[in-house]
Amino acid sequence: MSLTLQDGAGTRDVLLRLDRTRVFEDTAPRLVDLGTVTAAMVVESDLSLGARLALYTAEGLLAATPFIGQRHRWLAPVGAADLDGDGLIELAYVDRPHLAKTLRIWRYQPASSDLREIAVASGLTNHRIGWQNIAGGLRDCGAGPEIVLADADWTQVISARLEGGAIVRRNLGRYDASAMTAALACR
């Protein structure tokens, strides 16, 4: 996989090579500003261990969540932002959006270049089998970033905020593709 990363040193093409048992498995890498460095946030899948969310820089792997632990298990990224206003970047994804339907939020720890899971909520999803896209994402309607997803049975659009270390949900209305688009646009 080849990435173009931009940082204080300028723009560089970077070739990332994984072990033979691993692949990048996502729609596209997402560039994340971690304050001191820009990283590509990607889904990396292992033939035996399943998927994990990983951050790569021009120097290689910066940080990663643990693998899910079972082959053919995937996660669907939501995005990265300072979700609780503490100045640190959190990464959000849905763990096994077709099975577990669990939102997980991890905090990037710049001092140790580590990720630490800080919040979990079940009953949320952002991907259906066969889709080429991931539904929802992050929005900021003026009160800080929120995560927008669907409930587990795809009947409601849900916003989720990180408040006091907990995920707080709010129902935004009946789910359909146009309702999800409207929610992401703060309408």
What's the confidence (pLDDT) of residue 15? 74
Q: How many angstroms separate the CA atoms of 180 and 164, rounded?
A: 26
What's the confidence (pLDDT) of residue 125? 97
The one-letter amino acid at 4:
T
First to last CA, the chain: 37
What are the residue ranges in the chain where pLDDT is below 70? Answer: 1-14
What's the confidence (pLDDT) of residue 35? 87
What's the confidence (pLDDT) of residue 59? 85
What's the confidence (pLDDT) of residue 1? 53
What's the confidence (pLDDT) of residue 107? 97
Using CA atoms, how far residue 34 sits from 69, 71, 73, in Å, is 27, 30, 27
Using CA atoms, how far residue 58 sits from 7, 35, 79, 82, 129, in Å, is 9, 15, 20, 23, 32
What's the confidence (pLDDT) of residue 122? 98
Contact 160, 166 (CB under 8 A): no
